[in-house]
Every structure is written in structure tokens, then in C-alpha cells.
Amino acid sequence: MTTDIHELSRSEMEVLKVLWRHGRLSAREVHGHVEPRRGWALSTTRTLLERMVRKGAVVREPFHGVNLYAAAVSRPVGLAALVRDFAERILEIDAAAVVPLLSRDADLSDEELAELERLLAAGDGEAPRD
Amino acid sequence: MTTDIHELSRSEMEVLKVLWRHGRLSAREVHGHVEPRRGWALSTTRTLLERMVRKGAVVREPFHGVNLYAAAVSRPVGLAALVRDFAERILEIDAAAVVPLLSRDADLSDEELAELERLLAAGDGEAPRD
DNA sequence: AAATCTATACTACACTTGTAGCGTAATGAC
DNA sequence: GTCATTACGCTACAAGTGTAGTATAGATTT
């Protein structure tokens, strides 16, 4: 159960991307990264984080009196699920076809890319929509 | 205003794809195509169509006492907007990079493909998010 | 220690989405 | 002409989303 990442709302995706970029952060830190482009109140960022925890997309870990949040799935795994969903549901093409594209342009490390490629090629990641 | 197609919900996208495939249809006809895989009641299909009309994603036209519905944007234009949104918002890559991919795998006619390519290359279609 | 800041957990509230049912008028079958 | 179908325009209602505010308790500053 890869946490059904494509069920996240736009706002939630924004938060997830911050966690992918910066790893484990406090709510306030997440807010610091997200606020400039969204203009949310801090409490909004908190609410989103909590909802994402409930959804299983984010893990929370108490750390010396502060909650730290981190993405529940790595970026490659998450992107694999998202690409698969988009390719199959919207474009109606084979998800694996997207890989070469990513290898050229996405800012993925070599390891990330390798993993993503493996995930998509293997038909792993998410069950096809139907 | 290309109707902000990426604001459509999953269910609405399903309906839109039917209209892209079959052109102008009555609510009942749309339902016929969509019901097998979604199991909606007819009234559900109707509601979705009406909501999409309100959103500007679908146009309604009365025809001899029956409303006919059609996609407000062509498939290439719609896909261009969707690809652009996905590429920029999720993958954070240049949308034009997706074109070669589509030319190989998507079931677009030559004219559709040409139009899509033009749209993405030109930076047309949708204004970039933020 | 008092005042302030910050964190967490609740609560709130309007709008959207999923998913339909109902009432009424027009259409077609008998 | 009456009955069954169908279409259409409302209404409905729970769950999800966008977007916060508040109450309460611990930490920091002066």
C-alpha cells in the first residue's frame, strides 16, 4: 500500500514536495518553505501536515517536544506512482514510456533515477487504475 | 481562458475523455459509455455534466428537446494543458520535453499531434502555475 | 516570576466532490 | 387518450479540501 499518493490534493502535494526536498522538518520549517508561494497561515500548514499523516502520506515523529514530519515515501517511489497514474489515466499510454524523459530532464540523482526506472519498468508502485 | 482543465476532478476527467472519444453526446449516451466502469446512476452522470458545463469544460447545446454535450476544448489542447501542469507542477521539468514521448505512444492523430506539439512548444495552453 | 513565544490538539466553516433522488413535462407505445 | 419512459431542472447530503482561529501548556526572555 504505497499510500495512494495520487489522492493527495494540490496543496498537500506542495507540502510533500517540500518534505522531499528537505527531509525531516518541523511544521514551522515546512511552513517557512511553503508560505512564500502559498501565503498560508501557519495553522493551515499544520492542518495539512496532520491530514497527510492521517492519510499515511507523511510520518510524524515527536522529537524533544516538537513534531517532525517526513514524507512516507521516497521521491522516486512517489514520482513513480504519480507518473504511472498520469500516464495511464490521462494519457492512456504505458507508464514506462515516461522514463527516458525523466532521465534527461528531472532533477533526480542517479540512484533516484535508477530506482524510479526500476519501479516503472517492473510495473511496481501502484496498481493500474482500470 | 482555456477553461483550466486541470481543475477537473477524476470523475469529471472520466466524462471528458468520453466526450473526447465520441464527440457530441446526450447525457444518456455519455452515461452508457461511463457506467460500465464507474457504475454511476444516470443522475450522477447528469450532475457531472452540468457541473462541467458550469465550469466551462463542457458545452451544452439543446437539440430537439435533448441536451447534447461536448468537450469545450479539443483533446490536443486539453492534453497540452494537462501535460504542462503535470510536468511543471509535479515533475518540475519543462513541459515541452514530454512531446517526443507522446508522439510515440499516445493515440493521437497526426493533426492532433501537430497541434499538441505546437501548443507545448509555444508555451501556449495554460499559464504556468504560480 | 510575569510577559511572551511556540507547540500541539481541537474546532470551525464555506465550498467542492461523490453520489444520488424527486417532481414535472414531453414523448412514445398501445 | 392513458400509461410508461425519458429528459430536465432542483434538491440533498456526507465526506473531502481550503483556510484558519482558539484553548492550553511548556519554553524563553527580561
Per domain, the residue ranges of chain B are 7-71, 75-121
Classify domain A5-71 by CATH number. 1.10.10.10
Q: Name the nucleotide with the smallest C1'–CA separation from A43.
A: D20
Cα separations (Å) of A39 from A34, A70, B92? 8, 21, 21
Calpha distance A112→A103 (Å, rounded)? 10
B97–A91 C-beta distance less than 8 A: no
Maximal CA-CA distance, chain B:
48
Q: Across the interface, which of B10, B93, B104 has its CB nearest the CB of A97?
A: B104
Calpha distance A73→A53 (Å, rounded)? 12
Nearest Cα to Cα of residue B2 among B88, B62, B61, B72? B72
Classify domain B7-71 by CATH number. 1.10.10.10
The string of pLDDT tens digits covering residues A28-57 is: 999 999 999 999 999 999 999 999 999 999
The string of pLDDT tens digits covering residues A67-116 is: 999 999 999 889 989 988 998 899 887 777 776 666 666 667 777 777 77
A102–B90 C-beta distance less than 8 A: no
Q: How far is CA A12 from the centre of its chain?
A: 9
- The whole-number pLDDT of residue B2 equals 54
- The whole-number pLDDT of residue A95 equals 77
